[in-house]
Chains A and B, each alone.
Chain A
């Protein structure tokens, strides 16, 4: 399946991917309104230490420990698309998935809601917003035919 891959050698650590992730997952889809009127948590995480930085998001891995760990069945892996997504209504905010994810790609909602925040590959769009808006082509969306198994 097509996944987002980070090229740390070109990552600026600017975090524009986070900005566009928030915007794309907002109700308004408007960058200023998303930040000023809504409470949206970015689903992509930029890790930075010194000169090294890269953007991390859900690997949609085979085996999906988060799916196995989910106590309510909110987290599911779609058989056809391979996308691991979750149902906000079913989520009770136990955060077991956060503990189970070996990549550290699932995070708590930053605004105190019980739900968690994780990448859905912008499934309804062609290309994820983070990839489309990276100013230095440090994120690419492609099928490397290598399954990350956990």
Chain B
């Protein structure tokens, strides 16, 4: 077609007084938004190629660059917004599905921001975590109905458990969707911080085997890279049923991202699309799920907890109750704001429910059915800061998965173009030229700093509440109050309104 109706999304503004024509921007832009014009002897821009990832802005040594939203305005229309129109133009051009990356960016209500935390004043003392011990240790796994001790003083018949120094784990991101250097950064940070990271459905690269005590290996519908050694290489196994960003559909890895190493790790031919089936074709019921859970437990000698990850959907409480009965040790629930390397935009932005409501509903249901001790609850999608974690724990979560936040620590600027494989930050790419932009030595430090900072903040918040162990906050919804919430929302969250 002759004319592309789409306009640029962003405009690159270059201060020519500051630009020294060093061309760092041109060399760093995989989208070719900058180029040097030999005739005009100055740098120029191709605005339509810009994805606003800030790589050029960050590396420009003279701060000569600013990226802005393209100022062209459509005639005001609350229904047919500019975004809606440009989506239609894109599809009219290509006939394809609208693709996107990272989590749901639409302005639907974020419940974390409508929940407030409590603190001690006068009637009970707050605790100063810098002066007194504060416990964040978190132990995930099925707990026995009653505690009995053997002759050595150990708990009798205790199923396998995962021990975390802080209630945070890195969420599932496969080698393939992210680069080996991103995987190494997360694995090593998890190892040094006493956390867990999750392989996602891409198998385990051989360079990551040394971190096996801190690895959760995932088994998804595509079964990529799953073999006996893989199952036994992790500290726990996770069956991925669904993902918050795209409930009801399987993972997508475009063939462009399947290079030599990804092909070897996933056990698929080079350059082929890795499209996971939407369902596990051996799981059509809770009974089938039970069979897979026990097949995996059998394969690993009942030594590793098995987690089941689902997307938060309408019937999440009933589904979680089924999963707990099916023998899972951990249930991971991913909310509709969860991230992804590639998802159809319409599904990401419209399918699923908020994690806050799903978590409250699941925790309540499991308690009602006396199943709560049988599983640990891990929530994700999207945990943005330490306060979100504290609120999640008070709502009933045992731990959280963070993924987008960890990638932001590694350099991600949320341009949402992961699916193109051209990540300028070396994270969501397999192009060797781009992968090496993420030095894992720097990555590890940045991610560790984030987790350390968040852990300190969690301790501060707990101290303020007069609580000295995270365990005492779990499911303690009296520490939460809602603002700007309806009766129904408060009822589902199981919290009182501020002032009550």
Q: Which residues of A approach B to under 8 Å, CB–CB?
A: 9-16, 18-20, 31-32, 35-36, 50-51, 135-138
Cβ A36 vs Cβ B20 within 8 A = yes
A10 to B20, CA, bound (A): 25
A19-B61, A51-B432, A136-B437 known; A14 and B24 CB under 8 Å?
yes
Residue from A12, A16, A19, A36 within 8 A of B437 (CB atoms): A12
Cβ A12 vs Cβ B436 within 8 A = yes
Residue of B whose beta carbon sits closest to that of A34: B20
Cβ A20 vs Cβ B61 within 8 A = yes
A51-B432, A136-B437 known; A14 and B62 CB under 8 Å?
no
Cβ A136 vs Cβ B442 within 8 A = yes
A19 to B432, CA, bound (A): 24
Residues of A within 8 A of B439 (CB): 10, 136-138
A51 to B21, CA, bound (A): 22
Q: Chain B interface mostly helix, strand, loop or mixed?
A: loop
Within 8 A of A (CB), among B325-372: none
A31 to B62, CA, bound (A): 7
6 A-B contacts (beta carbon < 8 Å): A12-B436, A15-B22, A15-B24, A16-B59, A19-B61, A32-B62
A137 to B438, CA, bound (A): 10
Residues of A within 8 A of B27 (CB): 12-15
Q: Which residues of B approach A to under 8 Å, CB–CB?
A: 17-18, 20-24, 27-28, 59, 61-62, 431-433, 436-437, 439, 441-442
Residue of B whose beta carbon sits closest to that of A9: B436
Cβ B28 vs Cβ A11 within 8 A = no
Cβ B23 vs Cβ A15 within 8 A = yes
Residues of B within 8 A of A35 (CB): 20-22
Identify 18 new A-B residue pairs, CB closer than 8 A, beyond the known A16-B61, A137-B439. A10-B439, A12-B27, A12-B28, A14-B59, A15-B24, A15-B27, A19-B20, A19-B61, A31-B62, A32-B17, A35-B20, A35-B21, A36-B20, A50-B433, A51-B431, A136-B437, A136-B439, A137-B441
Cβ B62 vs Cβ A16 within 8 A = no
Cβ B24 vs Cβ A19 within 8 A = yes
Residue of A whose beta carbon sits closest to that of B28: A14
A11 to B433, CA, bound (A): 9
Residues of A within 8 A of B442 (CB): 136-137
Residues of A within 8 A of B59 (CB): 14, 16, 135
Interface centre among B17, B21, B61 (most CB of A within 10 A): B61
A39 to B23, CA, bound (A): 18
Residues of A within 8 A of B436 (CB): 9-12, 51, 136
Residues of A within 8 A of B61 (CB): 16, 19-20, 31
Cβ B18 vs Cβ A19 within 8 A = no
A135 to B57, CA, bound (A): 13
Closest 4 pairs (CB-CB, A-B) = A35-B20, A51-B433, A51-B432, A10-B439
A14 to B59, CA, bound (A): 9
Quote the shortest CB–CB distance from A27 to chain B (angstroms).
Answer: 16
A9 to B17, CA, bound (A): 34
Residues of A within 8 A of B28 (CB): 12, 14
Residue of B whose beta carbon sits closest to that of A10: B439
Cβ B24 vs Cβ A16 within 8 A = yes
Cβ A32 vs Cβ B20 within 8 A = yes
Residue of B whose beta carbon sits closest to that of A36: B20
A135 to B27, CA, bound (A): 14
Residue of B whose beta carbon sits closest to that of A46: B27
Residue of B whose beta carbon sits closest to that of A50: B433
A50 to B433, CA, bound (A): 8
Residue from A15, A18, A32 within 8 A of B18 (CB atoms): A32
Quote the shortest CB–CB distance from A23 to chain B (angstroms).
Answer: 8
A87 to B85, CA, bound (A): 66
Residue of B whose beta carbon sits closest to that of A8: B436
A135 to B58, CA, bound (A): 10
Residues of B within 8 A of A32 (CB): 17-18, 20, 62
Residues of A within 8 A of B62 (CB): 31-32
Residues of B within 8 A of A31 (CB): 20, 61-62
Cβ B22 vs Cβ A19 within 8 A = yes
Residue of A whose beta carbon sits closest to that of B21: A35
Residues of B within 8 A of A10 (CB): 436, 439
Quote the shortest CB–CB distance from B443 to chain A (angstroms).
Answer: 10
A97 to B27, CA, bound (A): 31
Residue of B whose beta carbon sits closest to that of A7: B439
Quote the shortest CB–CB distance from A35 to chain B (angstroms).
Answer: 4
Residues of B within 8 A of A9 (CB): 436
A36 to B436, CA, bound (A): 32
Interface centre among A9, A14, A31, A32 (most CB of B within 10 A): A14
A51 to B30, CA, bound (A): 12
Quote the shortest CB–CB distance from B266 to chain A (angstroms).
Answer: 22
Quote the shortest CB–CB distance from B58 to chain A (angstroms).
Answer: 8
Residues of B within 8 A of A12 (CB): 27-28, 436-437
Quote the shortest CB–CB distance from B322 to chain A (angstroms).
Answer: 48
Residues of B within 8 A of A18 (CB): 22
Quote the shortest CB–CB distance from A95 to chain B (angstroms).
Answer: 26
